[in-house]
Structure 1
Amino acid sequence: MSGRHQPVVGILGGGQLARMLALAAAPLGVNCLAVDGSADACAGQVAPLVVADWSDRAALEAFAHQVDVVTFDFENVPADTAHWLAERVAVHPAPEALAVAQDRLAEKTLFRACGLPTTEFMAVDTREQLDQALAAIGAPAILKTRRLGYDGKGQFRLATAGDADAAWAALGAQAATLGLILEAFVPFERELSIIAVRGRDGEFRTWPLTGNWHVDGVLSMSLAPAPSLGPLQQRASEHARALAERLGYVGVFALELFVKDGELLGNEMAPRVHNSGHWTIEGAHASQFENHVRAVLGLPLGDTGVRGTAAMFNWIGELPDATPVLCGVDAHWHDYGKQARPGRKVGHATVCAPDASTLATRLRNIAQALGREAQVEPVLRALADV
C-alpha cells in the first residue's frame, strides 16, 4: 500500500481471532486496534488494546475516532453496540448480519429463505411449547439457546420425549432472556464448512470445503480440501453467495454444513473469520485473515486457491509439546498466548503437503510423537478415500 496514512482496523473483541487478524494486517501496512473487556486479552500482545465494556460509550466514541473501519472478533458483541458504532464509522460486516447470526431462529429462517435446507426446528418459549415442538419434530432432538451458545455450550440433547423435564431444567431458565429453539437431530455423515469472503464491491470468493471433526462440541481437527465431495463444493459456494448477497455482507464468514444422504444442510453461520479456516494461513495463497482485512478496507481480494492439502490440529485446554510439530516438514505452530484452562482454545498447528498420501504420513508421525493417534484417526480415514 502507498501513501502516508496507514489504515487502522478496529476489532471488537481481543481473542485469538483478533490476534491473527492483526498479524495478517501488518504486512499490508495496516494497523489494528482491539477492544475487549479483559486487560489480558491475547490480541493485546500484538496490537494496541482498549480495555472497555461494550456499554462504555465514552471509550467506544474515542475508539471510533481512531479507526477507519470496525469489524468483529466474535459474534456475541451486542448488536446495539454495533449499530451505535455504525453511526460513527464504517462497520463490516454490517450490524444486521451480526444480529441474524446471533439468533439461531433468525439464522435458520434466513437459510431456508435463501434456498439452503436445514433440519426441522421450532421456537420454544415455554415448557408447554417444548412438548408441542417435540410432538411436531420428534426425538432425538437438541434444545439450544437461540443466543450466545457456541462450542457446544447452551445445548441439551433429548434422546426421547421423556427427556423434556431434564432439558427444561437445564435451559428453561434462559428462555425469557436468550430464547430457545428445538432442532431435530441430524444423523449426518460428515461435517463441513465453507469459508467465504465478499468485498465492498461485491467480489465474492470461497476457499475449498473443509472437513471438520468435533469432540464434545469443540473443533478437534480440520482437513482441506475435504475429499470426495463431488458437486458439493459448487453447491456450498452457491449457498454462501446467496447468503452474502442477501445480507450485503462484507468480510469473511463461515457457513457450517452437515452432509446427509449426499445433500447439504445448513447448521450455523459465523459472521467472522473462523476456527475451521485457520489452515488457510499456510495452506492457501491468501489466508482468511488477510482477505478479511482486504475486504473490510475495500482492497482487492487475494487468491483463495490452495497450495496443496492441509490439516489443522486444534489445541484445547493446554498446549502439547511443540517439538514434534516443529520438527515436521511443512508443519506450523500457533501459540495464542493464553493461559491454559479446560475447554479453552489455546493454539493450533497446521500440517501441509503436496498430496494426500504425504499429508497422511506427516500427520501420522506427529500424532504418534504426541500420543494423539485417536485425534488424527478420522482424518487419516478421510485421506485414505482420496
Structure 2
Amino acid sequence: MFTPELIADNATKVSLVGDPDLVRELRFSFERLGIVVTDVDPDGSISVGVSRWSRAALLQKASRDLGLPVPRYAVASNPDELEVAAAQLGFPCVVKGDSVEVVRSPEDMQWRGECVVENFVDFDRKISMVAVRSVDPATGELATWYCEPISEGMQPFPLGAATLDNARSVAARITNAIGCRGLFVVEMFVKGDDVYFSDVTIGPSLSGFVTCATQRFGQFDLHARALLGLPIDVTLTSPGAMSSVGVDEVPRAGLARALAMSEVNVVVGQTLAVTLATADTAEQARESARAAVSELRG
C-alpha cells in the first residue's frame, strides 16, 4: 500500500475540516501528492480561511470595495431585524443563513439564526465559475485559471462571449480580494449579459463535483495542487453533468443498475450519492445523470 511517509521523512502534513463527503475526496487528492493527512474533522463547519468571509462581509466587499453588482441586501441578527429587512426588500426575498431559502410572504418567514436577506433577482440562470489560484511555474507568480462555466449540473454551460467575460471578471476580482491560493467556486446570477455576484465557496463544493467527470483534474485534485503551489491544468476532456440523491434512498441493487449505464459513474458518500455522466453534449450527459439517479432509487 502507498504510504506518503515513504516520500520524505518530513512529509507535509494537513488537517481537514468540513462536509464529510467533500473532505473524504479531498483527503485522497492530498495523499496522492504525498501529503500526510493527520486529522479529519467532518463536523468542523468551516475552515479558518473561510470564516473570515461571512456572507455579509463578502457582499459588502463585492459592492463597496470592488464595485461588483450584487442584489440589494440587509443583515438580520434577530427576528425583528429579519421582519424589517424582508419588508424593506419586498417579497419574494432570499434568506441566507445555514441554508438558503426563498421566502414568498411574511407568513413563510421563520427565524433560524443570523442571516443575510437579499431581494429576489429575476435571473435567467444561476452559474458557478470555478477559479483556481496557484503559482504559475513559468513566472513563479500567483496566477488564476478558470474552468468552463457550470449551471444546472452541466459543464460546459454555454454563455455568450460578453456574459462569459463578465463572469470571469467577477470571479477574478472576488478571488483576488480574498487573496489566498486554492480553488474557489463563485456563484453568480445571470440576467441577459449582466452578472450579479451571489456567493463564493473556498474549496470544493457540490456544484463543482461535475469537474470530476469532465476535466483532466477535478476540483479536489485542483484544490490540493493549488494549496501546495503546484502546476494547474483545467483542461476540459468531455462535456458532462451530475445529479445527486440522498444515500438513504439508494439500495444496493440500484447502485448496480446505475453503474451498468454507459459513461456513468457513481460516488457514494455518507450523505449523498452523486451521479456523474459524460456524453457528446452536456445536455445528453444531464439526461444520463438524472436517469442514473432514477436507477439508484429503483
- Answer whether TM exceeds 0.5 for this pair: yes
Q: CA 1:189–1:317 in 2, change beyond 3 Å: closer, same or farther?
A: farther
Q: Which residue of 1 aligns with 2:207?
A: 276
For residues 23-45 of structure 1, what are the alpha-carbon distances to aligned partners after superposition, in whole Å with 9 as ceiling and x for unaligned? 2223322232333276xxxxxxx
Q: What is the total number of aligned residue pairs between the two structures?
A: 284
Q: Which residue of 2 aligns with 1:322?
A: 255
1:133 counterpart = 2:85? yes
CA deviation after TM superposition for structure 1 residue 15, in Å: 0.7
1:22 counterpart = 2:27? yes
Code of the aligned partner of 1:106 = A
SS in 1 for 2:52: helix
Q: Is the 8 A contact 1:225 1:310 kept in 2?
A: yes
Q: Is the 8 A contact 1:315 1:347 kept in 2?
A: yes
Q: Which residue of 1 aligns with 2:276?
A: 350
CA deviation after TM superposition for structure 1 residue 371, in Å: 7.0
For residues 195-243 of structure 1, what are the alpha-carbon distances to aligned partners after superposition, in whole Å with 9 as ceiling and x for unaligned? 111115412112111013xxxxxxxxx1101134443222222211111
Matches within 5 A, 1:17-96: 17-36=22-41, 75=46, 77=47, 82=48, 95=49
- Aligned with residue 107 of structure 1, among 48, 58, 72: 58
Distance 2:76 2:230 in 1: 43
Matches within 5 A, 1:1-386: 4=8, 5-13=10-18, 15-36=20-41, 75=46, 77=47, 82=48, 95=49, 97-100=50-53, 103-112=54-63, 113-125=65-77, 129-130=81-82, 132-145=84-97, 149-150=98-99, 152=100, 155=101, 157-159=103-105, 163=106, 167=109, 170-171=110-111, 174=113, 179-199=114-134, 201-212=141-152, 222-301=153-232, 303-320=233-250, 321-336=254-269, 338=270, 345-356=271-282, 359=285, 362-363=288-289, 366=292, 369=295
SS in 2 for 1:318: helix
Gaps of 5+ in 1: 39-53, 55-73, 83-94, 213-221, 339-344, 373-386
Calculate the TM-score normalised by the size of structure 2: 0.83
For the aligned residue pairs, the C-alpha RMSD in angstroms reads 2.9
Calculate the TM-score normalised by the size of structure 1: 0.65
My pick for the range that moved more, 6-15 or 263-272, is 6-15
Distance 1:115 1:181 in 2: 19
Code of the aligned partner of 2:75 = A
My pick for the range that moved more, 239-248 or 126-135, is 126-135
Q: Is the 8 A contact 2:277 2:286 kept in 1?
A: no
Code of the aligned partner of 2:143 = E
SS in 1 for 2:166: helix
Code of the aligned partner of 1:310 = G
